[in-house]
């Protein structure tokens, strides 16, 4: 009798403990999960480079003579348009290049401007390279753009290599990739600081399949995904937000350990919006880092109406900030203006301002707008 009671009590306690654990787990999940499934899964349709831009670009490329000419041309021209390259545009660019070394370099330069490539696109690109060592080099540079990540597509790509040792190496590269984020792309920097606009206008909403999502809600979901899916222990990161003033998550960058990633996600979830757009205030805090800062990711939906407000001003500001740093800080910028009442001119001004920041620091610029 006592034994039965004891056993019963034991199982009851186990059940309660398990329910508690489950509950604890699900509370944690809720914190981690973005407030809306749509905010997590939606990806704005990319706008590709205009045909006229491409034609001029490719014509100019045909006029280059040497390997170094071609690379210089790509370095100068690729950042001059805010749109991403479609897979066809990537392939036609490589087709115009006449040296394996410039073809390889082009993969590195195009990478930030590629939203996604299919396994078949990657196969086509590798087909443009002659030697298997160069094919492998190219694969290393573009693997992270692969969208249809499956065993089948990995094998399709690996089969472009003749030797089994190469096939294995290709599979190893492909097994190491994380999904590319449609806002932040791939975070390859060893030290990355995310600087985010939390001004009042980030509360403006856009519609996805009838559901209203605010800009900030979407950006929070995408940053959460990026940090969670991509950052590895050897990377360091921090999060800074700005409106009237700037605020940091941590005083300086910290290791991307699982615990720190979880804490960052909790921090992101709590972010709200208010006030003005003080971009230089946000950058001030990012540049305060004592570490070798590789890349700042700056996202805003406007132009500053506080702090440094002119293009000339921000260029000088960035030159000054970078002057005494041994390794220059690159700023990848994103102008994110879906929905909202802004007219075309205001959208263009935001593109221009954020593009100028990227340009002044050799970063990449991405414009996402109506
Ligand atoms: C609940 O989750 C927290 C945070 O991960 C953890 O520290 C704690 O031990 C968990 N509690 C239980 C009962 O599982
Ligand atoms: C912009 O932000 C910085 C950093 O928080 C702050 O020092 C500065 O006073 C702000 N500028 C204005 C005009 O509020
Ligand atoms: C940008 O790149 C150019 C050419 O490679 C270089 O001369 C310049 O110092 C770089 N600027 C910064 C801020 O990294």
CATH of the domain at 220: 3.40.50.410
Pocket, ligand 1, Cβ cutoff 6 A: 20-21, 24, 28
The reply to whether 150 and 208 lie within a common domain is no
Which helix (DSSP H) or strand (DSSP E) does residue 173 occupy? helix 164-175
Q: Report if residue 363 sits inside a domain.
A: yes
The reply to whether 251 and 171 lie within a common domain is no
The reply to whether 198 and 330 lie within a common domain is yes
Q: Atom 2 (ligand 3): residue with closest C-alpha?
A: 362
Strand partners, 193: 238, 296
The region, left, alpha or beta by phi > 0 then psi within -120 to 50, assigned to residue 185 is: left
Closest CA to 279 of 363, 218, 195, 179: 195
Ligand 3 mutation pick, 328, 360, 361, 363, max ligand atoms within 8 A of CB = 328
Q: Atom 4 (ligand 1): residue with closest C-alpha?
A: 28
Residues 70, 103: contact at Cβ < 8 Å? no
Q: Among the three residues 132, 149, 175, which one is the final residue of a domain in this structure? A: 175
The reply to whether 230 and 352 lie within a common domain is yes
Mean pLDDT by 10 residues, the chain (370 residues): 58 53 35 65 91 97 93 94 93 92 93 92 93 94 91 96 96 92 93 97 94 95 96 96 96 97 96 94 95 95 94 97 93 96 95 96 92
Q: Report if residue 181 sits inside a domain.
A: no
Say what the pLDDT of residue 142 is. 94
The reply to whether 245 and 308 lie within a common domain is yes
Say what the pLDDT of residue 103 is. 93
Domain of 127 in residue numbering reads as 51-175
Q: Report if residue 17 sits inside a domain.
A: no
Q: Atom 7 (ligand 1): residue with closest C-alpha?
A: 24
Say what the pLDDT of residue 14 is. 58
Cβ(282) – ligand 2 distance below 6 Å: no
Say what the pLDDT of residue 11 is. 58
Maximal CA-CA distance, the chain: 94
Q: Report if residue 8 sits inside a domain.
A: no
Say what the pLDDT of residue 19 is. 46
Say what the pLDDT of residue 24 is. 36
Q: Report if residue 26 sits inside a domain.
A: no
Strands 330-337 and 205-208: unpaired
Ligand 2 mutation pick, 195, 198, 244, max ligand atoms within 8 A of CB = 244
In the 8-state DSSP scheme, what is residue 145? G
Q: Atom 4 (ligand 2): residue with closest C-alpha?
A: 281
- Which alpha helices (H) appear in 209-343, and where do they start and end? 215-230, 258-269, 279-287, 311-323
Q: Among the three residues 146, 175, 204, which one is the final residue of a domain in this structure? A: 175
Q: Report if residue 31 sits inside a domain.
A: no
Q: What global pTM score does this model have? A: 0.83
Say what the pLDDT of residue 319 is. 96
Say what the pLDDT of residue 13 is. 57
Q: Report if residue 10 sits inside a domain.
A: no
The total domain count for the chain is 2
The reply to whether 197 and 239 lie within a common domain is yes
The reply to whether 242 and 167 lie within a common domain is no
């Amino acid at each position: 009798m006592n034994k039965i009671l004891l056993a019963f009590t034991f199982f009851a306690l186990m059940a309660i403990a398990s329910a508690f654990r489950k509950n604890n787990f699900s509370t944690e999940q809720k914190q981690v999960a973005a407030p809306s499934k749509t905010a997590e899964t939606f990806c704005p349709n990319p706008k590709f480079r205009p045909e006229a831009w491409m034609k001029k670009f490719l014509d100019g490329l045909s006029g280059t003579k040497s390997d170094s000419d071609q690379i210089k041309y790509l370095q100068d021209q690729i950042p001059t348009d805010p749109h991403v390259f479609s897979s066809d545009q990537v392939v036609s660019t490589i087709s115009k290049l006449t040296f394996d070394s410039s073809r390889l370099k082009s993969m590195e330069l195009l990478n930030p401007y590629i939203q996604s490539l299919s396994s078949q696109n990657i196969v086509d690109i590798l087909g443009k390279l002659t030697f298997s060592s160069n094919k492998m080099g190219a694969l290393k540079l573009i693997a992270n753009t692969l969208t249809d990540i499956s065993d089948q597509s990995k094998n399709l790509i690996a089969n472009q290599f003749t030797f089994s040792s190469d096939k294995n190496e290709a599979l190893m590269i492909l097994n190491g990739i994380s999904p590319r984020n449609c806002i932040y792309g791939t975070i390859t920097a060893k030290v990355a600081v995310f600087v985010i606009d939390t001004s009042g206008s980030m509360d403006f909403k856009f519609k996805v399949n009838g559901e209203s999502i605010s800009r900030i809600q979407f950006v929070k979901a995408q940053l959460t995904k990026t940090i969670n899916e991509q950052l590895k222990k050897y990377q360091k990161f921090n999060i800074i937000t700005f409106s009237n003033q700037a605020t940091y998550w941590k005083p300086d960058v910290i290791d991307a350990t699982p615990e720190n990633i979880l804490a960052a996600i909790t921090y992101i979830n709590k972010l709200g919006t208010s006030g003005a757009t003080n971009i230089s205030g946000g950058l001030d805090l990012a540049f305060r880092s004592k570490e070798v800062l590789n890349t700042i990711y700056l996202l805003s939906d406007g132009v500053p109406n506080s702090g440094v407000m002119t293009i000339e001003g921000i260029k000088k500001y960035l030159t000054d900030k970078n002057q005494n740093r041994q390794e220059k800080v690159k700023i990848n910028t994103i102008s994110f203006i879906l929905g909202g009442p802004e007219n075309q001119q205001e959208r263009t001004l935001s593109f221009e301002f954020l593009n100028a920041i990227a340009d002044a620091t050799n970063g990449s610029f991405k414009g996402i707008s109506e």
